[in-house]
Amino acid sequence: MDQLELLLQEIYGESLDESLYALLQQKVAEAKQGFPRYQCWSEKDVILITYGDSVETEGLSPLQSLHLFLGEYLSGLVSAVHILPFFPFSSDDGFSVIDYYQVNYKLGDWSDIKKLNQDFELMFDLVMNHCSRQSLWFNDFVNGTGEGQDYFIESDPKLDYSAVTRPRTSPLIVDVYTRQGLKHVWATFSDDQIDLNFANPKVLMAFVDIFIFYLKQGARFVRLDAVAFVWKLLGSNCIHLQQTHAIVKLLRWVMEQLDPNLILITETNVPHQENISYFGQGDEAHMVYQFALPPLLLHALNRGNGHYLTAWARDLVALPKGCNYFNFVASHDGIGVRAVEQIIPKHEIMDLAESVHNFGGFVSMKSNGDGTQNPYELNISLFDALQGTRTGSDQWQVERFLCSQKLLLSLQGIPGIYIHSLTATANDQALVEQTGRTRSINRHRWQRSEFETLLSQEHSAQAQVFQRYRDLLSLRKNISAFHPESAQRVYDCGDALFVLQRGDAPTANQEVDHQSLLAVFNLTKHPQSIDHHLQLPQAYQQQCKDLLSEEDVLLQEYKLKPYQVLWLVAKPDIA
């Protein structure tokens, strides 16, 4: 058997219809014709995460407005744009998809997507686990006829579902009144997001078609939303099942047939070891969301203590060839804490949640099998989450926030920057009141004129952050040490600092270049010396150049200001 046959066998076992193999081969062969070619990832790759309507301009469609805004301010600074689900939807700000093939008319149309793709590479979401209750597929199920009539999972509410991993507190099994009478269906996330039945091969083939369609519409990156839950087996925890991993491998196989430089990303907000299981043996996702990073970094800056951040980063395993991390510290979904349940003690997670409440945010909970609840997600804008420490607000918000972003830009992998980090957006309490959803706190819609007015005001958060962030991106893209595959080593220089080296340590008499870099972060609001500098490579114990300040630095004599960051390169006179 070849790889495709093995994968189909792994998914469907003895029930496999042999015609699926030929059908998939045909779909891929047809898609290959005229397919574009992409370059391999590099240090120039930075992905902006945004909704289609995050920046609005009077007289333009939201996608047109976004394109003009990005073209004016971020051309050459970000390489790709992740447009969060831009399809017709019924809830969850796009993640309850009604029609996978259409652009939401309130945002624009496919021509707007194609124009944006002329200037930026694109990332699309493939929302696989569920679709909208208002979709045509689910309408078919209700009517008992048509393509979608057998696309969903009928369930018996009297059975025991206590083993099922739940990301929400809503009921798992929901009632549906159909032409055949009352039925009960599986709904992992909400009663408007009905889970699809991948045990039916027609569902898998439908999503392969959608997947290929997105690639042909210009998506170089495809993000598999909530993919960990797609296969259901009663009596199991219904997460990370063997068939789920095989489906991810199958989509990777499709990409590799079309262009090896396409990138598949899995979104699995779960403990770290479970998350990185989606690399497989280098045959599943090209990238996984680095879900442990946002809560670890927020915790470190909230406490002025990077103990857990450093220990976690030092233990990161070598990645399979061709795989890497999608690093982010803020997103449309807030800051998930599941990934650090086995890293940060529970009482410190609760302390962090208390700080989030104090800074105007919310805490979403998840249900456990025993009827208890734990924090699942911190709903707050990152800029406001960093307005202070566990002792309260202070004057260091901007510097603390920029420290977080510099750390994001320094780590091995490709950085994903949420647009509301770039724009230093505060909590949108009005939108929470309007929608009734706590996640809306971090989903502000800027009027471009409003943003540019704030940008022109010297003391606004936007004026203090936006241009400095753009300068960072302009500098970073020319530092080859930040290539996604450049080596990474983390040093323990005390809890007040986070220290990492990118690239191999420079050798004696090497000319100054950007192949190797030492990044030093002061995680506190107090000046800090580098007391453990002797454990660092010899090259960095001599006089270095800090690329951020353009100053010469001798580490053993240097004291970092509160939240200061150094990007150090060795000078050519090293011994």
Instruction: Determine the angle formed by the axes of helices 19-32 and 201-216, rounding to 10 degrees.
Output: 10
> How many CB atoms sit inside 10 A of residue 75's CB?
10
User: Cα–Cα distances in Å, from 23 out to 12, 13, 33, 206?
Assistant: 15, 17, 17, 12
Q: Smallest Cα–Cα separation from 82: which of 437, 429, 424, 326? A: 326
List the end-to-end C-alpha distance of the chain, in Å, as a whole number.
Answer: 57
Q: Is 527 in contact with 505 (CB distance < 8 Å)?
A: no
Long-range contacts formed by 504-507: CB under 8 A, 24+ apart:
505/537, 505/538, 505/539, 505/540, 506/537, 506/539, 506/569, 506/570, 506/574, 507/539
Q: Smallest Cα–Cα separation from 172: which of 160, 207, 182? A: 160
Could you tell me which residues come within 8 angstroms of residue 365 by beta carbon, excluding any fewer than 6 positions away? 169, 373, 374, 375, 376
Q: Smallest Cα–Cα separation from 567: which of 481, 506, 485? A: 481
Task: Specify burial of residue 401 (Cβ count, 10 A radius: 0-12, 13-18, 19+).
Answer: buried
Question: What is the C-alpha separation between 225 and 210, in angstroms, rounded?
Answer: 14
> How many CB atoms sit inside 10 A of residue 449's CB?
11
> At 24, which helix (H) or strand (E)?
helix 19-32
Task: Specify burial of residue 292 (Cβ count, 10 A radius: 0-12, 13-18, 19+).
Answer: buried
Could you tell me which residues come within 8 angstroms of residue 557 by beta carbon, excluding any fewer than 6 positions away? none
CA gyration radius for the chain? Answer: 24
SS3 340: helix
Residue entry with tokens 């989509």: 251
Question: What is the C-alpha separation between 396 and 525, in angstroms, rounded?
Answer: 7
191 is catalytic: no
Q: Which of 225, 333, 428, 546 is catalytic?
A: 225
Tokens of 246: 């095989």
Q: Is 551 in contact with 566 (CB distance < 8 Å)?
A: no
Tokens of 21: 């193999």
Query: Which strand ranges, in their side-by-side order, compose the sheet holding 488-491?
Result: 488-491, 497-502, 517-522, 565-570, 544-546, 551-553
Known catalytic residues? 225
